Amino acid sequence: MKNRNIPYGYCYNNGTIIVHPTESAIVGEVCLSYLEGQSLLKIAEWLNERLIEYLPGIYGWNKARVKRILEDERYLGTDSYPRLISEEMHTAIQGIKNGRNTQKETDRKAEIYQLTTPILCPICQSKMKRRFDSKRKCQTRWMCENLECRIGIDKDDTELLQDITEAMNYLIDHPELVHEVAPEAIEPSIETRKINNEIARMLENIEVDRDAIRKKMLEAVSQKYQDIDSAAYTTQKLKADLSSMEKLESFSAVTTEKIVKAIILYNNKTIAFILENDQIIRKESTNGSHSKTEGGTSNTADN
């Protein structure tokens, strides 16, 4: 099942929602870790390091996905879902979460706080963090978190969300722009990186076990082919999803997260999407708009 249409921790059995034995245990560990003081980011990193699947073959845990587990009331045993956590645990979690939230109530309701897709630096591709200063002409600035870069780009919240919405609608109108990226451009999966690290450590040993290294290299090649197959599937799914979507009337964090892995914010305040298949698509904010896709191709838009 590639689409998660029920909460993590559950599965279907003959049309009935039941407890998933492995995933439900992870839900419990996530809740306990949070109660013990771990941050959303630390929990997400821990899940990725342990190669815990969010979906079959997908290890992409982030703060938003961890947050959903901590907030979902269906784990209490509602709406035909079996109970996974107690009322006391859920209440304690919400108390900690509310205590950590230092934003004003009006801020929590602002659309910009619904944006969970990471914003990346155009120079070093590191994550950028939103900074707000009511005294500045443009009150919002995105700062690169890389201390060796620290580029800052002013971008109004409303303008950013509007650009994202327009770019999403452009993709919905033109799903044919989505294509498979070259195999060498596919980002290695966590499992592939793990195997490559193991090979590197084996090569550092004084006494090299050639047979063991050869076996591990074959494992790396096999995993790389699995990554390519997964990328092909993701590309076809993206096309199908976009083809079935209606154009957005306003910004949708859910739709954006479904299609877009990350957003690059450029110095000229334009944006590009890194799609879930690692393809980069950029729609310029100019009168003669066009979309640049990975590989240097461009497609003229009719808007």
Does 5 map to a domain? no
> Token pair for residue 151?
């580029």
The parent domain of residue 226 ranges over 161-300
Across the chain, mean pLDDT equals 81
Q: What is the pLDDT of residue 283?
A: 66
Residue that is last in its domain, among 102, 127, 152: 102
Structural domains in the chain (count):
2
- Indicate the pairing of strand 10-13 with strand 290-293: unpaired
Whole-Å CA distances, 88 to 6, 84, 93, 249, 290:
23, 12, 9, 40, 53
Residue that is last in its domain, among 102, 126, 143: 102
Residue 97 shares a structural domain with residue 166: no
Helices (H), 39-188: 40-49, 63-71, 87-100, 105-109, 157-173
Give Cα 292 to chain centroid, integer Å.
22
Residue 68 shares a structural domain with residue 179: no
Cα 71 from Cα 75, distance rounded (Å):
9
Q: What is the pLDDT of residue 229?
A: 54
Residue 176 shares a structural domain with residue 265: yes
Does 3 map to a domain? no
Cα radius of gyration (the chain): 21
Q: What is the mean pLDDT of residues 219-245?
A: 76
Does 131 map to a domain? no
Residue 190 shares a structural domain with residue 282: yes
Q: What is the pLDDT of residue 285?
A: 41
Residue (of 196, 165, 170, 192) closest to 298 by Cα position: 170
Q: What is the mean pLDDT of residues 15-44?
A: 92
Q: What is the pLDDT of residue 187?
A: 61
